[in-house]
Amino acid sequence: MFIFGGSARDTHPRDTHPPAPATTDPAPRVTDTVASGLDTPWGLAFLPDGSALVTERDSGRVLGIGADRQIREVATIADTVAQGESGLLGIAVSPTFDTDRFVFLYVTTPSDNQILRATYDGLTLTDQQVILGGIPAARVHDGGRLQFGPDGMLYAATGEAGNRSLAQDPASLGGKILRVTMDGEPAPGNPDPNSPVYSLGHRNVQGLAFDDEGRLWASEFGQNDVDELNEIVAGGNYGWPEVEGSSGNDDGGGDEYIDPVVTWPVAQASPSGIAHDDGNLWMASLRGERLWRIGIADSGIADFSTTEFFTGEYGRLRTVVTAPDGSLWLTTSNRDGRGEPADDDDRILRIENPSLESP
């Protein structure tokens, strides 16, 4: 049985809190270009040895970046359909990679969005198999982010594929955050033990990150009014399409829906990837062409500070990941059909992160 809505929380849905004043922490700065000339990089994940794997949305290629910054093609995912926002999207590395060598990919096919599991032997991806299919696909709102949680389960963000009603349909995998095992089965403890659905009422989530307390955060595209940062709880209903932003507005949502913790005007965000470090979330913005730092409070304290960096300097920003050395890797997305690419786009930039950078 599904249990969705505000009652899934141990407190009532919080009101949307306006951003607190910006912190005075040192500003991050770009120190290096890790890679350039990429074709719409979308997913980025680090391996235990410090090397990285990157997906290209439109080409369907998976690239490997070694510790020496040399780039090579690892695989091309067959049947990738790259139209509009669809294509080869998220990537995640198994938390037990040293023993199982598993890599997970989110890809649009001619019929649906799928989560694939493959084995990485250090040179190429082999034994590719679909562990979960039937995720609605379209030219827009495909979601696509993959993230392992501290519980060892795989979380996947999906979009409603432009069909708004799917977000509130518990039988659909569209407009949801999914939680599955590494075999693609519904994870133990899901709201419905027979379903991979973990939360619903999402328009198009493209960012997932866990903090040190094990809380799950998600960035979500709004439509005309506001983009959102949400704290995700099991069984939570986040309101789309009945609510955009806070249900405390005149949307009539009441306590049925969980409100975002921070919102932005769509021109300042259009958020995609997010990453966590000690006390901060970093959020890459596409239309907003900036990197947001969001200070997140301890549990039970509603106090979020937001600061923007690199506004307009590097164009559209898609994915941000915390690297093993404490830096941030940030991808541009200027060749995605909506940007104005420079000659060396798309790029992966290395960002010195003052709060985590190794001495």
Q: What strand order describes the sheet that includes 348-352?
A: 29-35, 348-352, 328-332, 317-322
Q: How confident is the model at residue 278 (pLDDT cuts 50, 70, 90)?
A: confident
Residue 299 token pair: 């549990």
Q: Dihedrals φ, ψ of 74, to 5°?
A: -95, -40
Quickly state the pLDDT bin for 2 (edges 50, 70, 90).
Answer: very low
Average pLDDT over residues 177-190: 98
- Return the DSSP state at 310: S
pLDDT at 7: 37
- The predicted pLDDT at position 254 comes to 55
Please calculate the CA angle 185-188-189 and round it to the nearest 5 degrees: 135
Q: For residue range 229-255, what is the model confidence (pLDDT) as tens digits?
A: 999 999 999 999 999 999 874 444 457
Cβ–Cβ < 8 Å for 74, 124: yes
- Rounded to whole angstroms, how far apart are CA atoms 176 and 162? 13
Ranges assigned E (strand) in 36-171: 41-46, 52-56, 61-65, 71-76, 88-93, 102-108, 113-120, 125-135, 146-148, 154-157
Instruction: Express as a percent the part of the chain with pLDDT over 90.
Output: 84
Give CA torsion, residues 236, 46, 314, 304, to 10 deg: 40
Percent share of the chain, pLDDT over 70: 88
- The residue to which tokens 């955009």 are assigned: 244
pLDDT at 199: 98
Place of tokens 């093609």: 73
At residue 11, the pLDDT reads 30
pLDDT in the model for residue 283: 98
Give 354's pLDDT tier (boundaries 50, 70, 90). Answer: confident
Enumerate domains of the chain plus CATH numbers: 6-30+37-266 (2.120.10.30)
Backbone dihedral region of 248: left (phi > 0), alpha (psi from -120 to 50 degrees) or beta?
alpha
Q: Among 1-10, 74-83, 106-115, 323-332, which stretch is predicted with the lowest mean pLDDT?
A: 1-10
Q: Are 184 and 210 in contact (CB under 8 A)?
A: no
Residue 276 among the catalytic residues: no
Question: Rounded CA gap, 104 and 130, in Å?
Answer: 10
pLDDT value at position 5? 47
Please tell me which residue in 17, 141, 202, 276 is annotated as part of the active site.
141
> Residue 10: pLDDT band by 50, 70, 90 thresholds?
very low
The residue among 280 and 8 whose pLDDT is bigger is: 280
What average pLDDT does range 3-28 have in this prediction?
48
pTM over 0.85? The answer is yes
Per-residue pLDDT, 81: 97
Render the burial of 260-290: b for 16+ CB within 10 Å, e for the rest: bbbbbebebbbbbbbbbbeebbbbbbbbbbb
> What is the per-residue DSSP string for 243-288?
-SS-TTSSS--GGGSPPPSEEEEGGG--EEEEEEETTEEEEEESTT
Q: Which pLDDT score, from 0 to 100, does residue 250 have? A: 47
261 pLDDT higher than 70: yes
pLDDT of residue 336: 97
